[in-house]
Amino acid sequence: MKSCEEVGIYSEKHTPGEGVTTDELLALVDDLNRRNEIDGILVQLPLPAGVDSKKVLLAVDPAKDVDGFHPMNVGFLSTQRPGLVPCTPAGIMEMLARSGIKLAGQEAVVIGRSDIVGKPMAMLLLNVNATVTVCHSKTRDLAEVCRRADILVAAIGRAGLVNRDFVRPGATVIDVGMNRVTDPEEFRRLFPRSPKREETFKAKGSVLVGDVHPEVAEIAGAITPVPGGVGPLTIAMLMSNTVKAAKMRRGNFTAAAD
């Protein structure tokens, strides 16, 4: 809502109580679907216990699905038709484009297969002619697979999993992870020679760390920081999706103008 205010987009927040039912939330979504002045609907998860989240998410009008999670928008993405794309992968593509990172013909590895990041990220990279491998918890010799990557996207939710053994020198590394580390031993594993950081850690009792070990910055050709990298772009792309939805709903959008 703060970002909406900053860029001049009208927004409103609906916060039903913990006792809300699935039917009540469906009625709220239906009302928002019908309101012509509302162009984007975002359902903040997790929903209260007892609410059928999948049913609520599916009820959102695909034309107003600014999260890009509706099966119709997923289908549009996979078939390269104009639609609303999940914000985090869309932000990563924007970052790569603005940084002049070559994608066509490059080998890309995505660690993580979530519907929110991993799968749409892989599709977006495929759509610009990268050769894409998707890895997950059952991937054999994960480090060896990752070392082949010109572009490595880490979105698995494990602090510092991706160390220098996973990364080919000069590779572009995108760190999607946001992990709060509170264990002193874990902190020392990630920051073994950082007295200043240790001082801050002791004072705050925690530190935010991505899925990529800080040591990777020493060999990567380009790397996103945590915090301050992918996160802010996710919000920016949510704003962008809202404007895109408004244009598409009124027939003012063309793929070339995106």
Q: At 256, is the pLDDT very low, low, confident or very high (cuts 50, 70, 90)? A: very low
The dihedral region occupied by 110, where left means phi > 0, alpha psi between -120 and 50, and beta the remainder, is beta
What Å distances lie between residue 40 and 35, 87, 157, CA to CA?
Answer: 10, 13, 28
Q: Quick one: pLDDT at residue 252?
A: 76
pLDDT tens track for 33-61: 999 999 999 999 889 989 999 999 999 99
pLDDT for 257 beyond 50: no
CA atoms of 119 and 74, how far apart (whole Å): 10
Quote the pLDDT of residue 45: 87
Q: Is-same-fold flag (1-62; 87-233)?
A: yes
From the list 76, 4, 16, the residue with the least C-alpha distance to 43 is: 16
Q: Is the pLDDT of residue 110 over 80?
A: yes
- Is pLDDT of 2 > 90? yes
pLDDT at 29: 97
Report yes or no: 173 and 223 within 8 Å, Cβ to Cβ.
yes
Q: Compute the residue count for the chain.
A: 258
Q: Tell me what the mean pLDDT of segment 77-99 comes to.
A: 95
1-62 carries CATH number 3.40.50.10860:
yes
- Where does the pLDDT of residue 67 fall: very low under 50, low under 70, confident under 90, or very high at 90 and above? very high
* 193 has pLDDT over 90: no
- For 76-84, what is the mean pLDDT? 94
Averaged pLDDT score across all residues of the chain: 94
Kindly list the domain boundaries of the chain, sorted by start residue: 1-62, 87-233
Question: What is the average pLDDT across 240-249?
Answer: 95
159 by DSSP, 3-state: which?
coil
253 band by pLDDT with thresholds 50, 70 and 90: low
Residues 217-222 have a mean pLDDT of 96
pLDDT at 254 over 80: no
For 87-233, CATH gives 3.40.50.720
Region 103-126: mean pLDDT is 97
The string of pLDDT tens digits covering residues 161-173 is 999 999 999 999 9
Q: Looking at this protein, which amino acid is placed at residue 25? A: L
Dump the DSSP string for 93-150.
HHHHHHTT---TT-EEEEE---TTTHHHHHHHHHHTT-EEEEE-TT-TTHHHHHTT-S
Write down the pLDDT at residue 258: 46
Residue 86 pLDDT class (50, 70, 90 cuts): very high
- For position 255, what pLDDT does the model report? 54
Cβ count near 62 (within 10 Å) = 18
Nearest of 110, 103, 96, 94 to residue 154 by alpha carbon? 110
In the structure, what pLDDT confidence band is assigned to residue 218 with cuts at 50, 70 and 90? very high
pLDDT at 17: 87
